[in-house]
Structure 1
Amino acid sequence: MPADRRHAARVALGLLAPGLVLLAVGRPELVMYAAFGSFAGMYGRLEPPAERLRHQFHGAGMLVTGVGLGALLSAAGAGSAVLVLAVTAFATLGSLATDGLGLRPGGPFFGIFALGATASVGPDLVSPLGAVLICAGTASWCLALGVADRTERPASAARPAGLPAGAVRQAGRYLLATSAAGVVGVGLGIDHANWAMTAAAVPLAIVTAGEDPDVGAVLDRAAHRVAGTLAGLAVTAVLLLPEPRPELLAVVVIVLLFPTELFLGRHYGLALGFFTPLIMVMTELAAPSDPVALLLARGVDTLIGVAAGVAAAALVRGRRELPALSH
């Protein structure tokens, strides 16, 4: 099996087992929390076992923290202003953490996605402890799968200790992009404004700390995000408008993870054609709503977010960077 398909299969298996457990106990609506835990398996792609374990452990920590904070905000009945502040702070600190740890995929995208999505779910769905246990249990299973895969791969070059040069500037881009997207989304009264903040992180994920952003590459990533999301929304409409049973929707979420991860490293826009319905379906399971309004909100939020991300990359520039910070 080629390495990328082996990796995608391992990621998919990371959600399959917990997803089947949730189906067996009659709680398909909780698959969102398992899905966030399974994203830990996306880290350490094609890396040697020891390095993969380290990166997946750190990625799992970010995801579980995001789910835990989001569940607490939901339980506290936090308003949209508090959510914008929380996601912005998490994105800024998460950027510093992921750059310092050298995580790949880079940036805090999955962490802020987990925080915003779980904070937007009603507090009666599951307790904060239950949400964390589902996410952490799934992430632990994914780490175990990573350890079991002993495929030998060349070790990557060692990274200098500490924050790379330009990490603070990169964190500033995330702060500007996510806060602007959140304020605009809330100001326009769009449901799920947290999606705009998540989308704002996407164009910045390809910016390497210490380097001036390649605006052309950022625009290309933004175009992939918009085109892939629109294609994914068409798929989502086909899935949600017939109003299938929750159990079937949970199976759809589990199935879509494999092609999402398989194409993520090959063609980002194509991967989003699978990832968008995955996240839309699991959101609908956790917080049922009008599917048409959900699709519209997702499309508008994506446009707001990518515009904010591109603007932040274009505005926060400068080649003079501070020296790398050591521990």
Structure 2
Amino acid sequence: MKMFAEMLTIAPANKDHQVALRCAVGVFVPLITLVLLDRLDLAIFASFGAFTGIYGRNEPHARRLSLQVRAGGLMLLVMFLAALTARVDALAGLSAAGTTWVLVGTTTVVAGACSLVVALWRLRPSGSLFHIFAFAAIASIPNQPPLWQAMLVAVLTAAFSLLIGQSSRVARSRRTPWVWPEPVRLTPAEKRAAWQESAGYLVAAGLAGTLGTLAGEWLGVGHNYWAMVAAVVPLVGHTTRHRVSRGLQRIAGTALGLVLLAGILLLQPNPWQTVLVIAACQFGAEMFIARQYMLAQVFVTPLALTSTLLVAPIPPGILLRDRIIETIIGAAVGIAVVLAPGAWRRLAGRREAGTPGRLR
């Protein structure tokens, strides 16, 4: 019962509106610029470049800049590798099934590697959820825009997010002392934990991607990387109960978010109105992501899917169906990965206890 009570509890606010406003502006300005330039083919690179602003939420300005530079650089690298992967797949002339499995394999590697880097750099939010999403979404685009244009948009958007992150320094009352953070030094135990966490991300993402792909073959469901994204959600948390709760909240929040998205799609927004929706959902997501995960997902779901529709229009019914099925698959895999070590230890303990002649 404690777990379900957690799903309905909202933690106290901690200047979340400031972070939410920064992130909303950080994604709105680049996207509306692309709408005005009629270059929506580049919108996905702007959307993920704006993720730079998510890091260093309430940190002092110098530390926020340090964290955001690292986070932005890692995201730019992931986007660059994703664009290259899409081009290599196209040159190799792989079948649709072959391309799908290559995407699962490469995204799984990104999940483990980025989780490790994020842990070693002590970035927050932790984990590689954003990197999985960015890599797989970009690598799955069949008609890639020119690479230099895509990366220019990504770099400019990331730089804009850095600028917004420091914007409050114009107000003397809001400035924090400019003290550059000391280099991160992890203990051997922390490094070992980072490697173990990375292995968990590899297993969860790989298994979810495999099951999501098989479901696609059996049920005609697409977007297998949504299962990979959902699978790593339960891996974040200090306790098993909290991690399982996050997985359940991902499913419940996604279901509610799809209802909100259906209402938005009924209005048939044009591109500039869609950008407004994206900015509003980004604001809502950042307002609650650190306080109430299920409620945050109500905003994250239309945020992610309207961003997808902005680049590649898809029949709404298919989009909604794919999202909920892949989310359930992924969250179930993530919860299973969280529970597996404890279940294994209990099973091993019972076997030991039942071994005859065991020395005591």
Q: Given the two structures, how large is their TM-score scaled by the length of structure 1?
A: 0.88
What is the one-letter code of the residue matched to 2:191?
P
Percent identity over the alignment is: 35
Structure 1 residue 84, shift from structure 2 partner: 0.5
Map of 2:3 onto structure 1: none
What is the one-letter code of the residue matched to 2:213?
V
Map of 2:58 onto structure 1: 46
Structure 1 residue 291, shift from structure 2 partner: 1.0
Structure 1 residue 148, shift from structure 2 partner: 2.9
What is the aligned length? Answer: 312
Query: Would you say the 8 A contact 2:28–2:275 is kept in 1?
Result: no
What is the one-letter code of the residue matched to 2:203?
L
Name the stretch that deviates more: 147-156 or 95-104: 147-156
Deviations 1:126-173 (A, max 9, x none): 223322221221111111122233335699998534753311111111
Query: Would you say the 8 A contact 2:244–2:338 is kept in 1?
Result: no
Gaps of 5+ in 1: 208-213, 320-327
Deviations 1:187-224 (A, max 9, x none): 121200011111111111225xxxxxx22111111111
Deviations 1:49-72 (A, max 9, x none): 111111111111222122222222
Q: 1:88 aligns with which of 99, 108, 114?
A: 108
Name the stretch that deviates more: 221-230 or 148-157: 148-157
The 3 A distance-change label for structure 1 pair 197 and 3 is same
2:209, 2:49 → 1: CA distance? 25
Q: 1:205 aligns with which of 215, 232, 236?
A: 236
Query: Would you say the 8 A contact 1:233–1:276 is kept in 2?
Result: yes
Structure 1 residue 250, shift from structure 2 partner: 2.5
1:267, 1:160 → 2: CA distance? 31
Larger Rg: 2
Query: Would you say the 8 A contact 1:28–1:250 is kept in 2?
Result: no
Map of 2:166 onto structure 1: 147
Map of 1:110 onto structure 2: 130
2:191, 2:82 → 1: CA distance? 29
Deviations 1:218-274 (A, max 9, x none): 111111111111111111112224543233223321222111111111211111111
Map of 1:5 onto structure 2: 17
What is the one-letter code of the residue matched to 2:214?
G
1:158, 1:3 → 2: CA distance? 27
1:262, 1:232 → 2: CA distance? 15
Query: Would you say the 8 A contact 2:32–2:272 is kept in 1?
Result: no
1:12, 1:289 → 2: CA distance? 25
Map of 2:5 onto structure 1: none
Q: 1:184 aligns with which of 211, 222, 227?
A: 211
Map of 1:167 onto structure 2: 194
RMSD, matched Cα: 2.4
The 3 A distance-change label for structure 1 pair 291 and 167 is same
The 3 A distance-change label for structure 1 pair 84 and 93 is same
Structure 1 residue 45, shift from structure 2 partner: 0.9
Runs (4+) of structure 1 exceeding 6 A deviation are 154-158
Query: Would you say the 8 A contact 2:121–2:184 is kept in 1?
Result: no
Query: Would you say the 8 A contact 1:99–1:107 is kept in 2?
Result: yes
Query: Would you say the 8 A contact 1:44–1:56 is kept in 2?
Result: yes
Query: Would you say the 8 A contact 1:215–1:310 is kept in 2?
Result: no
Name the stretch that deviates more: 14-23 or 145-154: 145-154
SS at the partner of 1:105? Answer: coil
SS at the partner of 2:198? Answer: helix
Residues 246-265 of structure 1 aligned to structure 2 (within 5 Å): 246-265=271-290
What is the one-letter code of the residue matched to 1:95?
S
Query: Would you say the 8 A contact 1:67–1:131 is kept in 2?
Result: no
Name the stretch that deviates more: 42-51 or 232-241: 232-241
Q: Which has the higher helix share?
A: 2
Map of 1:315 onto structure 2: 340
SS at the partner of 1:160? Answer: coil
2:29, 2:269 → 1: CA distance? 22
Query: Would you say the 8 A contact 2:254–2:301 is kept in 1?
Result: yes
Q: Given the two structures, how large is their TM-score scaled by the length of structure 2?
A: 0.80
Residues 285-304 of structure 1 aligned to structure 2 (within 5 Å): 285-304=310-329
Q: 1:16 aligns with which of 18, 23, 28?
A: 28
Name the stretch that deviates more: 41-50 or 145-154: 145-154
SS at the partner of 1:206? Answer: coil
